[in-house]
Chain A
Amino acid sequence: MMDGTSYSGSRRGRKVDFGLLLSYLFLVIFGWLNIYSAVYSEEHAFILDFSQRYGLQFIWVCISLGVAIILLYLINPRNFPPLTPVFYLAMLVLLAAVIFLGKEVNGSRSWFFIGSFGLQPAEFSKITTALLLSYIMSQYGFSLHNRKDAVKAALVVIVPILLILMEKETGSALVYIGLILVFYMEGLAGWVILLGIGLIAMFVITIALSPLTALVCAFSVCCIIRFVQNRSLVWILTAIAATVLMCFIPRLAQIEALGFLNSLKPEVWALIIMVPHLFFWLRDILAKRERPGGRYALISLAAAVLMVFSVNIIFDKVLQPHQKARIENLLGITEDLQGIGYNVHQSKIAIGSGGFTGKGFLNGTQTKYNFVPEQSTDFIFCTVGEEWGFLGCIVLLGVYIFLITRIIHLASKNSDAFTRIYGYCVASIFLMHVVINIGMTMGLLPVIGIPLPFLSYGGSGMMSFTILLFIFIRLDMERQNKDADF
């Protein structure tokens, strides 16, 4: 019934994007089969047993398809833009309400329960945030270079993040960070993204190696950028000298005559060594003798220094103990295969034991005997890895990449700014979910509890991802109509 072609000629040439629809159906059905396998037990072997998660997931899929049809043919999202502030505000109220009225599940307050069915507002607020962001950014005359506009757009994203953080759903909040890609596509400078990646690297190096190492890395990279921009030989030579000196701080501190070095931490000494360079650098910038690249490099360096010196505060004060433990576990600082590292370890075993072609549907021992907790929800990728093997994973990953790049492609072609920006929002949300989720199950990223779109068990997720996608498909149909009209 969802075959797009059957409607293609019927209603004034409306055309559902075939690729997106097929990808969607593949993911939903494949997900359902994997949930069946993950939860499978001989007593409840019937795939439509509604006491089991696979039975329930079938219901969610059906409801989602119904919603999809409504979005495609009954409601016209074209009429949404003026309503988006209303949706958004309503969702903010829900997000705030759940903090006080919601039920606590696994330490976070993000669920409403209606009877036995749970509802997670944070899943749906992605939609309203994407819609409002698209609405604001698509208004005539909006520019990210206009400070007021930029702040307005940023606030649209930041407010739900704060509310979700208060619900202690850190994972869901992280997904919103992905929306920075939308800003990037709409005019944000590329170096900001690079700076973001650089800061994450600083964070990791500081924890995994040492603050001194992080500072030396940041300083040398920024100095090289400045050198490439300015080609000043004196500059680069003194910078190299300073870097070498920094590297030897711990060694020098061991010499008895230089014992005073121990009075301050090595990273503080490194900062002191940097000061003369920073002074001349800043003077050049103020005197407008510096090229833009050098300016960004200094800002980046300042951000990096701030990052390095606040890592401990972030680590100890901002993050919750279990999040801290997960990061330490990922970076190999602690190893606790029975405790905090259990999930990931078992998940890696499940995926690793799948081999090239997998053990076959319903044949995974890790899957069958429930070694991986949360396997039907956040860790559903394990089931794919164990039972479908490398081939199955590649196909699944391929479908996701196709889905995301197809959305970006269609969005960029669309002449309507709202559709374009909304498409970027959808693509970045999917991208964050897929990369973080799969990365986490393979032990590449810390454990962040977010679902794999369309595969993970869960009504809220299934529904919100479906709505997110089908609003775009519907908006995209409009473009095709316009094309057809021309």
Chain B
Amino acid sequence: MDKKVLLITGIIVAALCLTARLFWLQIIDDHYKVSADNNALLYQTQYPARGEIKDRNGNVLVGNKTTYDIMVTPVDLEEFDTVDFCLTFHVDINDVRKKLKYYRENKRKIGYQTFTFIKQVSSSDYSHYAEKAYKFPGFYAISRTARIYPYNAGASLYGYINEADSAYLANNPEYRRGDYVGITGIERSYEDVLRGKKGYNIMVRDVHNRIRQSFKNGEYDVAAEPGKDLIASIDGPLQQYGEWLMKDKVGSIVAIEPSTGEILAIVSSPGLTVEDLSNIRKEYGRLATDPYKPMFNRAVMSAYPPGSVFKTVNALIGQQNGVITPDTKFSCSRGFYYAGGKMGCHGHRSPLNLRESIMMSCNAYYANVFRAIMRDPNHQPISDAFDHWKEQVQKFGIGVKLGSDFPSELQGNLPSTKTYDKIHGKGKWSAFNILSLAIGQGEVGATPMQIANLAAIIANKGYYIIPHLIRNAPDSLRRAKYTEKHWVGIDQQHFNPVIEGMYLAVNAPPGAGGTSRRAYIDDIVVCGKTGTAQNPHGRDNSVFMCFAPRENPKIAVCVYLENSGAGGTWAAPVASLVVEKYLRGEVKRTELEQMVAATNLKQFVPVKSKKR
């Protein structure tokens, strides 16, 4: 064989291999053409400004400010003055050196990638940097928005935003790495409204992301749509005032406008401050381990025994079921006696009718009412009566989630017949075994928001609108949900004796036996009901619910204070101050408010010290 022929054949075969590859790359495979366009055209994301949150008076509660992320493309780095760099951005020089060392050592692995070097640089730091940016080749800045909280109140409501994590990205394909997303609170419930729509500018760029020019003069650019602003139902000054009153106390205030279900103020104490929220990344650890749990929103998450405020529910159900009338009287000799036990009561005149029983909060009266409900001949055996009662209670929004726009709202507790079958055995329990439910003790638990909602139901004489924080929900679904009247199934006339009782509790002349005298306000007719819930951990919890004015009520309030003693002592004055502040715009009883604000009730709250 001629070696020359063989060699030339070999060369031609090699050339044909190269040609075949060329043919594949250039003629058959399309995706390299697309890649070249993607390479050269940069879809530069335009981040929309996140919607602001304003209060009902137009005060900005949650706003935006521009911050900058400093990006680095390690391959473009040249020697620079690290000390100057660190002083400009106020960062630790050791961190910077560590990162730079990493880039040097992983040059090949990193290639032409770009990383975020410093997050959330303030505008003032950025402007210092911008003047000498030329000294730091390889770095550039992109603008982002961060949240600010100009109004110093309500930090527990807003929630915070953070970069979407991998799990979130997996479930929400419309998000990209680096996008911010609401993690808790309103930011989370109204994420869809607040976030707006990203846009993009198409730029022609080179390999280092150095932008050379706009693509076709921006003809194909899409502008970012800013998020919609939300108007919260919160009354900023009232919220701030409530937080001030609650300092050094553990508990909640919830104030609702009864006719609309709008939440006017919602305080959970101890709670977050706006400073905590601004620096949530730094503060998170401390907040999460604080024994008073400032991140736990007691107003919607804590199921407390409602205590005597629950008597109003039994009074209404008893009337509706026809087992009592407003004139039904029961006697009380410092308690209610039954085979095997006694439910104690405080000293008051006897016998009492319905409105007096509310006014003086007689335990024996409600033991009788509850027994009558359980022995209702229309619903026997007792398990039927109990289920019927439970259904009626649930209509008041107790023991079920109300469906507010708090993502973290809990339902509270309401026992079922199963609970008692388990404790006592099936068919082996009677009204006496569950008598504590008559006075809101035992297995029943309600959140402060549910109690405030109960006050609103009484104020509205029979219905509620789901309590909510946002007035201008843009979608019809939420608009319908937060305007619908939920009737509780109690006829309107049955509310009158209860309201009368609550009126008397606050407004009866001193010495007449009203339990809520401390909630009395000159010129404002407050109707209220105290509650004192026994607490296995330390002093009693005190609760107070009220609404005002009596005619055409504007505000319904629940105050719940942990370990503060009898309901009338502390919860009633706090609630009345809130009512006065809202209805009058100012508080005339300055002495009272100073005393309330200065009182430390936190000291009575037992804290489990963590032993390590």
Enumerate chain A interface residues (CB-CB to B < 8 A): 181, 184-185, 190, 322, 325, 336, 338-340, 342, 346, 348-356, 365-366, 368-371, 373, 385-386, 389-390, 393-394, 397, 400-401, 404-405, 408-409, 412, 431, 435, 438-439, 442, 444
Contacts and interface: CB of A to CB of B under 8 A. Distances in A.
A346 B7 contact: no
B21 A442 contact: yes
A394 B475 CA distance: 62
A390 B24 CA distance: 10
A350 B36 contact: yes
B568 to A, nearest CB: 69
A400 B11 CA distance: 11
A342 B375 CA distance: 82
B39 A401 contact: no
B192 interface: no
Given A351-B26, A389-B26, A401-B15, 11 more contacts: A185-B3, A322-B108, A339-B109, A340-B108, A353-B37, A365-B40, A385-B26, A386-B36, A409-B4, A431-B14, A444-B18
A355 B33 contact: yes
A370 B206 contact: yes
A148 B140 CA distance: 65
Contacts of B17: 444
A397 B274 CA distance: 70
A228 to B, nearest CB: 17
Given A185-B3, A349-B39, A365-B37, A442 B22 contact: yes
Which of A340, A390, A400 has the most chain B CB atoms closer than 10 A to its own CB?
Answer: A390
Contact of B11 (A355, A385, A431, A442): A431
Interface string B90-113: 000000000000000000111111
Contacts of B108: 322, 325, 339-340
A330 to B, nearest CB: 13
Give the one of B7, B11, B26, B27 with max A CB within 10 A. Answer: B26
A333 B205 CA distance: 31
A369 B205 contact: yes
B33 A352 contact: yes
Interface in B539-584: none
B36 A366 contact: yes
A401 B12 contact: yes
- Name the residue in B14, B15, B31, B33 with the highest tally of chain A Cβ atoms < 10 Å from its Cβ: B15
Pick the 10 closest A-B CB pairs, nearest first. A352-B32, A353-B36, A369-B206, A365-B40, A339-B111, A352-B25, A338-B111, A349-B35, A390-B26, A371-B207
Given A348-B32, A355-B26, A356-B27, A404 B11 contact: yes
B32 A365 contact: no
B268 to A, nearest CB: 47
Contacts of A405: 8, 11-12
B437 interface: no
A370 B207 contact: yes
A44 to B, nearest CB: 15
A439 B4 contact: no
Given A401-B15, A442-B18, A371 B7 contact: no
Contacts of A349: 32, 35-36, 39
Interface in B191-250: 204-208, 212
B19 interface: yes
Interface string B19-54: 101110111010111011101100000000000000
13 contacts: A181-B7, A322-B108, A336-B111, A338-B113, A342-B111, A348-B25, A349-B35, A352-B26, A353-B37, A365-B36, A370-B206, A400-B15, A444-B21
A185 B29 CA distance: 39
B26 A338 contact: no
A368 B18 CA distance: 25
B477 interface: no
A339 B39 CA distance: 16
Contact of A397 (B19, B36, B207): B19
Given A401-B11, A435-B18, A369 B111 contact: no
Contacts of A373: 207
A356 B33 CA distance: 12
Contact of B4 (A351, A371, A412): A412
Contacts of B6: 190
B22 A366 contact: no
Interface in B99-153: 108-113
